[in-house]
Amino acid sequence: MTKDAKTTYDILEVLKKRYSPRAFSTEAVNEEFLNKMLEAARWAPSASNEQPWRFIVGVKRNTKSETYSKIFNSLVEFNQIWCVNVPLLIVVCTFKFSKSGDENKYRFYDAGQAAAYLTFQAASDGLFVHQMAGFDKTKISEYFQLPDEIEPFTTIAVGHLGNYLELPERMQRTELADRERKSFEEIIITY
């Protein structure tokens, strides 16, 4: 099943095909694909080239890895339900302060760009990504003993598309729904 975007203007195919499913298969993510995603994120732009992002990578193996389990256990219950098959969980963290010692006001924007680069590299390799805000940042900080200057920002599920019929019924409906966006005109303030 694909859910290509119905765009007003022609855009890159990888952008049209990218969407955030909840139905993932248990098939492992090839290590080369993982490394390509992280490399793409590494090359994302950032204010003053600070690169204020770090990634905690949890790979699910035959038996769950400790890192994977900690990330999974930080997810809210709703996300745990559909993430049960997800083979790869990544936490994006940001540095709160810039090299000058001042608060890095652009860290979330920069980390978001790194997550987007990771997402588009994954999509170009036939993988799917679902980013989540529904996780406990305090648990992540405690589990991984993060220093105060590093803040968990978002969690990302990565894998191959699975069978939506394996999801609870309420989640199946969202998997079948058309992708929607505000109109092109609605998002432009002035042209």
Buried b (16+ CB within 10 A) or exposed e, 94-123: bbebbeeeeebebbbebbbbbbbbbbbbbb
Domain boundaries, the chain: 13-178
Supply the pTM of this predicted model. 0.94
Q: What is the mean pLDDT of residues 54-71?
A: 91
Give residue 1's pLDDT band: very low, low, confident or very high (50, 70, 90): low
CATH number assigned to the domain covering 13-178: 3.40.109.10
pLDDT of residue 178: 87
List, for residues 88-135, the tens digit of each pLDDT value: 999 999 999 999 999 999 999 999 999 999 999 999 999 999 999 999
With 0-12 / 13-18 / 19 or more C-beta atoms within 10 angstroms meaning exposed / middle / buried, residue 17 is middle
Tell me the pLDDT of the chain averaged across its residues.
Answer: 95
Give residue 191's pLDDT band: very low, low, confident or very high (50, 70, 90): confident
HSE-up of 112 (CA within 13 Å, CB side)? Answer: 6
The Cα-based distances of 133 to 23, 76, 92, 136 in angstroms read 18, 9, 11, 9
Give residue 3's pLDDT band: very low, low, confident or very high (50, 70, 90): confident
